[in-house]
Amino acid sequence: MTILQNDTFLRAILKQPVDRTPVWMMRQAGRYLPEYRKIREQAGSFMNLCTNPELACEVTLQPLDRYAFDAAILFSDILTIPDAMGLGLSFAEGEGPRFSNPIRSAADVDKLPIPDPEQELRYVIDAVRLIRTSLQGRVPLIGFSGSPWTLATYMVEGGSSKSFQKIKSMMYEQPGVVHRMLEKLAKSVALYLNAQIAAGAQAVMLFDTWGGMLTSEDYLEFSLHYAKLVREQLQTEADGRRVPTILFTKGGGLWLEAMVDSGYDALGLDWQTDIGVARARVGDKVALQGNMDPVSLYANPDVIRAKVQNVLERYGRGSGHVFNLGHGILPDINPEHVKAMVDAVHEFSPAYHVL
């Protein structure tokens, strides 16, 4: 077993003492890097890149060669499970994901299979194995999945949406059908994340990108309930140590107390939630991840440094904070601005961890 050289991220997630705040970034392997764009062009399509373990590994490691990030995150897509269920995923340039066989009826839901991660999703699991080996213990590897609710939105809408009219209409008119779909997705997500853990992922994150578009009542019933079901099924011990779990609901600041009770070790915060207020609300029950505004990385490095200081100051002293953006980095950010953010976290955060 390779010794982990930098476990600051894992210790912070578990609220153990650290000497500085760890930092990584959602979508840190992506289009803002010229070296990523080069590989993406060689691959020919986004799906070709996702389904090639060697290329996915190379892309995952690229940001670690540029920046002093404290974690790597698997390069993949949140929609791999619906694709493995037979919905026919494709990506049109500039239009986002599309499914050729969206869910339209109870019969469609009943036909959905539960994918075997080592079969239909083998390319992801092989990528996890290869990345973990290639990291050679530099930093931990984060695995991830879309949440059941977020996956369901894409599966019913057939792609991205602004109003979510199709999925919400089905939810209101045929709640039992939606619940059956979410039950299948919760089982599929848990199997998928457990396979990633078995293959070498040292932490896992559930991306609930669209939970925040629900009412409070519907969020608890259709999103958080199934995120909790996923958590209950996860195997959170591997290599003799705990595998931390993170739940991120974009727009979920209203429901932090309920999210705490779902069993995850950490909650991701978007940029609209004050991290100091959030810490006061959750107490010592969970760690917090976030939450600088991704758009602030367009600003000059002096402004970026000030924004980093503000997030650190708002969280305050002690462990339990993983510095991150409040959502994924935008594709046309200057890579040097990312360096300014990472360097500022390393420079300013030790003052908040002096014993």
Residues 6+ apart with CB under 8 A from 198: 235, 238
CB atoms under 10 Å from CB of 324, counted, come to 26
Query: pLDDT, tens digit, for every residue of 122-158?
Result: 999 999 999 999 999 999 999 999 999 999 999 999 9
- What rounded mean pLDDT belongs to the chain? 96
Q: One-letter amino acid identity for 273?
A: T
More confident of the two residues 92 and 225: 225
Please give the structure tokens belonging to residue 245: 């779990």
pLDDT tens-digit readout, 74-98: 999 999 999 999 999 988 766 689 9
Give pLDDT tens digits for 188-201.
999 999 999 999 99
Contacts 24+ apart (CB under 8 A), 56-60: 56/123, 56/124, 56/127, 56/130, 56/131, 57/127, 57/130, 57/131, 57/134, 59/29, 60/29, 60/127, 60/131, 60/141
Distance between CA atoms of residues 77 and 42, nearest Å: 18
DSSP labels for 225-255?
HHHHHHHHT---EETTEE--EEEEETT-GGG
Strand (E) or helix (H) holding 96: strand 96-99
Separation between Cα atoms, residue 143 and residue 206, nearest integer Å = 9
Mind listing the pLDDT tens digit for each residue in 257-311?
999 999 999 999 999 999 999 999 999 999 999 999 999 999 999 999 999 999 9
Contacts of 173 (CB under 8 A, 6+ apart): none
Contacts of 71 (CB under 8 A, 6+ apart): 9, 22, 24, 139, 140, 141, 142, 203
Residues in the chain: 355
Q: Strand 89-92 and strand 96-99: pairing?
A: antiparallel
Q: Are 69 and 63 in contact (CB under 8 A)?
A: yes
Pairing state of beta strands 72-73 and 141-146?
Answer: parallel
Give the torsion through C-alpha atoms of 159, 331, 21, 239, to 10 deg: 60
Question: How far apart, in whole angstroms, are the C-alpha atoms of residue 208 and residue 329?
Answer: 17
- Which sequence positions are flagged as catalytic? 27, 31, 40, 77, 154
Distance, CA of 100 to CA of 90 (rounded, Å): 8
Indicate the annotated binding residues for substrate.
27-31, 77, 154, 209, 327
Classify residue 284 by its DSSP letter: T
- For 8-353, CATH number? 3.20.20.210
φ/ψ of residue 178, rounded to 5: -65, -40
For position 160, what pLDDT does the model report? 87
Residue 143 corresponds to which tokens in the numbers above?
Answer: 């695995």
What predicted TM-score, i.e. pTM, was given to this entire model? 0.97
CA distances from 177 to 147, 180, 191, 209 (A): 17, 5, 22, 21
> Residue 1: what pLDDT?
62
What does the pLDDT read at residue 172? 98
Task: Kindly give, in sequence order, each residue whose CB lies less than 8 Å from that of residue 31, ignoring residues fewer than 6 positions away.
Answer: 37, 40, 331, 332
Angle at 205 between CA 202 and CA 206, to 5 degrees: 150
Amino acid 354: pLDDT: 82
> Residue 103: its pLDDT value, please?
97
pLDDT, position 355:
67
**pLDDT interval class at 230 (50, 70, 90):** very high
Whether residue 2 is predicted with pLDDT greater than 90 in this model: the reply is: no
Task: Give binding residues as ranges.
Answer: 27-31, 77, 154, 209, 327
Give the SS3 label for residue 205. Answer: strand
Average pLDDT value for residue range 46-66: 96
Listed by start position, the domains of the chain span 8-353
